[in-house]
Amino acid sequence: MKDVPLLRSSVCTPHRRLCMAVDVEHYSRLDTRTQSVVQSELVRMLDEAAALTGLDRSAWIRQPQGDLEFAVLPKATPEDAVLGPFVHHLAVRLGDRNARPAAQRVRLRMAVDTGVVADAALGHAGPAPVAVARYVNAPQLKAVLATLTVADLAVMVSDRLYQDVVRAGWPDLDPAQYTQVHVRVKEFGGYGWIRVPGHAPCDIRSAMAEVPEPKPELLPSASAPSRMPLSQYVHQGAAVGRDVVGGLTVGLPVSPPSADPGPAR
């Protein structure tokens, strides 16, 4: 039996990048031919939106997953351009496409975060890829798109990006158009901000009215065996536990709480 060669050490070198996921709503309900068409059109719309924004899609590290494209963007990518003009152009391209006679309507969920990411055997590893995967599948984002039936695109950005970029006052970004949500999916817990182009924050809040509020993580009792928590709430960015979803993997344990956690915040 031949030995399996070891991965090069450079494969696991972490770096900080902007990560994005774009997912097609109700993709599994489509027949095979329509799925193929929708995949091609999704790539075309992303290409066109990037070109109109001045972004080079050929430099993106893309990880297609059928109804979803995950991408790691180059280091020099301007984050405000992605959150502003790119989202705008994607919404316009999507609206134009759906306005075609007899076209199968395509609706998208999009998530963006920035943070540590590393190349891995099955794609990418690190907090940012996992956070993006959780944000794009957040119950709140799904509920917003399902309820606002006129909308074609719903976007969630991480709290880190909202605080660092959206609130910085860039011309194409209006902080008042975002609504904060607390996301808990599997072992992931964090804050995100939802924006739906063409819809006011009050519409977003109304659409999320029926989504249950995530329950707080209970700390282990003194009599319970000591366990390392798989997630924690954070106000900046996101903390993740060990998980594997498709090609997005992570193995970063979270430090256990100290014996005296201090006053609650």
Residue 6, pLDDT score: 39
d(CA 14, CA 156): 24
pTM of the entire predicted model? 0.75
Mean pLDDT, rounded, of the chain: 79
The DSSP symbol for 43 reads: H
Amino acid identity for residue 41 in this structure = E
Could you list the mean pLDDT of each consecutive 10-residue stretch along the chain, which spans 265 residues? 43 82 92 91 96 96 87 94 97 94 91 88 79 92 94 96 93 94 84 95 89 53 36 34 34 41 44
Each residue of 28-55: pLDDT tens digit?
898 899 999 999 999 999 999 999 999 9
What is the per-residue pLDDT for 215?
57
Distances, alpha carbon 232 to alpha carbons 68, 217, 241, 250, in Å: 27, 8, 9, 15
Check: CB of residue 187 under 8 Å from CB of residue 241: yes
The DSSP bridge pattern shows strands 153-158 and 108-120 to be parallel
Q: What residues does each domain of the chain span?
A: 14-212+232-249
Write down how long the chain is: 265
Q: Which CATH number fits domain 14-212+232-249: 3.90.950.10, 3.30.70.1230, 3.10.129.10, 3.40.50.2300?
A: 3.30.70.1230
Burial class (CB in 10 A: 0-12, 13-18, 19+), 76: exposed
Measured in whole angstroms, how far is the alpha carbon of residue 231 from the centre of its chain? 17
Give CA–CA dist 19/11, Å, rounded. 18
Q: Which two tokens stand for residue 120?
A: 């891995």
Q: Which two tokens stand for residue 211?
A: 């989504």
